[in-house]
Chains A and B, each alone.
Chain A
Amino acid sequence: MVKDAVPAGEASFQGKYKEEEFQFCFHQHWLRLVSPIARMAFFSLLLITGGFVMLQGTSSVDPGTRHVVLISMLVFFLFFQLDFLERLYNYFLYIIIVTDRRVHRIKKTLFVTNDQQSIDLWVIQDINKAQHGLIQVALGFGTLMLESQETMLRIHFVPGISKKYEKLVHLREQARRKWPKLPE
Chain B
Amino acid sequence: MTAIIVAFLVIVIVEGFLWRLFRWRTKDVISWEEGDTPLSRFIRVGRIDIFAIIHTLILLIIIESFLFFTW
A binds B: yes
Chain A contacts to B: CB under 8 angstroms? 1-8, 11-14, 25, 51, 55, 67, 70-71, 74, 77-78, 81-82, 85-86, 88-89, 92-93, 95, 97, 106, 108, 110-111
Tell me the bound Cα distance from A78 to B15 in angstroms: 10
A82-B28 in contact (CB<8A): no
A82-B14 in contact (CB<8A): yes
Residue from A6, A70, A86 within 8 A of B67 (CB atoms): A70
Q: Which 3 A-B pairs have the closest CB atoms?
A: A5-B35, A6-B32, A89-B22
A78-B63 in contact (CB<8A): yes
Measured between beta carbons, the chain B residues less than 8 angstroms from A71 are 3
Measured between beta carbons, the chain B residues less than 8 angstroms from A7 are 32
Chain B contacts to A: CB under 8 angstroms? 3, 7, 10-11, 14-15, 18, 21-23, 25-36, 40, 43-46, 48-49, 51-52, 55, 59, 63, 66-67, 70-71
A93-B22 in contact (CB<8A): yes
Contact status of A5 and B7, CB under 8 A, knowing A78-B59, A86-B18, A89-B22: no
Contact status of A67 and B71, CB under 8 A, knowing A74-B66, A110-B21: yes
Measured between beta carbons, the chain A residues less than 8 angstroms from B71 are 67, 70
Measured between beta carbons, the chain A residues less than 8 angstroms from B35 are 2, 4-6
Nearest chain B CB to A63 CB, angstrom units: 9
List 11 additional contacts besides A2-B49, A74-B7; criterion CB under 8 Å. A2-B31, A5-B35, A5-B36, A5-B44, A14-B27, A51-B66, A70-B67, A86-B18, A89-B22, A92-B48, A108-B25
Q: Which residue of B lies closest to A14 (CB)?
A: B29
